Structure 1
């Protein structure tokens, strides 16, 4: 289990009111709300970084014409075997 540390943050009053309303609606504590918000933000950033790495890798080593043709051929072969009914 990880250690829990208390912190203090400053927020504009309008943002605090919005957070309070949302966390009450969700039935969360302030700590829980901000923990979930931070986890969500970090998760989104990791996902975006993974997409960026994927795109960069693809740009560095895209499929060859032969690979594209093979994928197209195999897709047709698989799809024509489906019943589609």
Structure 2
């Protein structure tokens, strides 16, 4: 982790009480709680952006019918080789 900077955050009392309860339950500081919450939110947003880019790419260049048929053929042949199949 890089340099640490202190910030001030305004919250409704109800949310602060819920955070305090979570911190007590987890045995962690508010700083650690908020740091983890922000990290999870950013990871989630980056994941959603990656999915959005994938879908957009697929819309711009979808699979052809031939590609779908070939993928089906290959996957069927691989699955037939499995002992549980």
With normalisation by structure 2, the TM-score equals 0.95
> 1:76 aligns to what?
76
- Give the unaligned 5+ runs of structure 2: none
Pair 1:5-2:5 in alignment: yes
C-alpha RMSD over aligned residues: 1.1
Moved over 4 A (4+): none
SS at structure 1 position matched to 2:40: helix
Deviation of 1:23 after TM superposition, in Å, equals 1.0
User: Residue deviations 1:12-50, cap 9 Å, x none?
Assistant: 000000000001111110100000000000000000000
Aligned residues: 85
- Give the unaligned 5+ runs of structure 1: none
With normalisation by structure 1, the TM-score equals 0.95
Give distance in 1, aligned partners of 2:34 and 2:61. 40
